[in-house]
Amino acid sequence: MSNSKNTYIINIHVANKLKNQFYHEYVPEVLDSLGDLNETRVQKLNSFWSLAAQLEKGASTQSTELMTHLGNEIPRNNPKLDSLMFLQHNASQSQEPPNLTFEPSPVWHDDDQMITDEPAKVFLRNMLMKSKSQVRELKAEAEKQQREVESAKRIRDNVRQGKDKRDEVDVVKAIFNLQEKLHETERKKMTAEVETLTILAVVGDLSLGAKNHNFKSQTFKIPTNCDLCGERIWG
């Protein structure tokens, strides 16, 4: 009985001691360990975030450097040099075709001299008067169209300098269209000038003192009298 009581009392002291150890040593130690674990977790997370930020910053810095380098290199792409390089790498041998020459008729004796008899002079005079009139009209038209082309080119220069907000592509298209019309007018003017010079070189200025004819574009199968001057029209 005494031994049981003593054992009981001893166990009470042991239990109290273990209780004190549990609450005053183990629990605080566990709490400290949990706190340390959380701090380790946060520290590790911070290291991940820091690494991610460094990588992002490095990538951003590298990208900025590349963009800066690219910005410095782009102006070196000279459009004129680019066109020159294209021509150098794509040039091919080309030869201007020879001038056209007179081909005589195979059925009778013929040469390259113009016919200057009286009926032919009537035809040449009419052509000369028409061509001289066209030269004057087309010259004025060509000068007007040339001014329009130059005006469009000045607009393009202003666009490149930032003084005009229009789309440069649209301006270039307009320049091409204006140049196409100008070239068509110049070809017509050149045709009229060559016709005039050729006739003048062969028979002189037949239009001096001649009446002004306003012909329609048509041909005659047989010689016909002109209603204005009474001359015979051939061809």
Query: Cα(11)–Cα(17) distance, rounded to whole angstroms?
Result: 10
Please report, for the chain, the start and end positions of each structural domain, with discontinuous segments joined by +: 2-69, 115-233
**Where is mean pLDDT largest: 82-86, 206-210, 228-232?**
82-86
pLDDT the model gives residue 150: 96
pLDDT value for 203 = 86
* 204 against 206, higher pLDDT: 204
> Can you give the pLDDT at residue 204?
84
Per-residue pLDDT averaged across 193-207, rounded? 87
Average pLDDT over residues 10-18: 91
pLDDT over 70 (residue 235):
no
- pLDDT per residue as tens digits for the range 30-41: 999 999 999 999
Q: What integer is the mean pLDDT of 115-135?
A: 89
In angstroms, the CA 234 to CA 117 distance is: 11
Type of residue found at 61: T
pLDDT confidence tier of residue 69, bands split at 50, 70 and 90: very high
Query: β-pairing, 232-233 with 224-225?
Result: antiparallel
What confidence tier does 189 reach under pLDDT thresholds 50, 70, 90?
Answer: very high
pTM of the model: 0.61
pLDDT score for 37: 95
DSSP for 93-141, written as a single string: ---PPPPP-----SSS---SPPP-SHHHHHHHHHHHHHHHHHHHHHHHH
| Integer Cα distance of 185 and 187 in angstroms | 5
Q: Which amino acid is it at 179?
A: Q
Cβ 189 vs Cβ 138: under 8 Å: yes
User: Would you state the structure tokens that stand for residue 32, as one six-digit string?
Assistant: 């400290």
What's the mean pLDDT when you consider all of the chain? 87
**43-55: per-residue pLDDT in tens?**
999 999 999 999 9
Q: In the predicted model, is pLDDT for residue 10 greater than 80?
A: yes
pLDDT at 119: 87
Integer Cα distance of 135 and 195 in angstroms: 10
DSSP state of 225: E
Phi/psi class of residue 167: alpha, beta or left (left: φ > 0; alpha: ψ in -120 to 50)? beta
Q: What pLDDT does residue 213 have?
A: 54
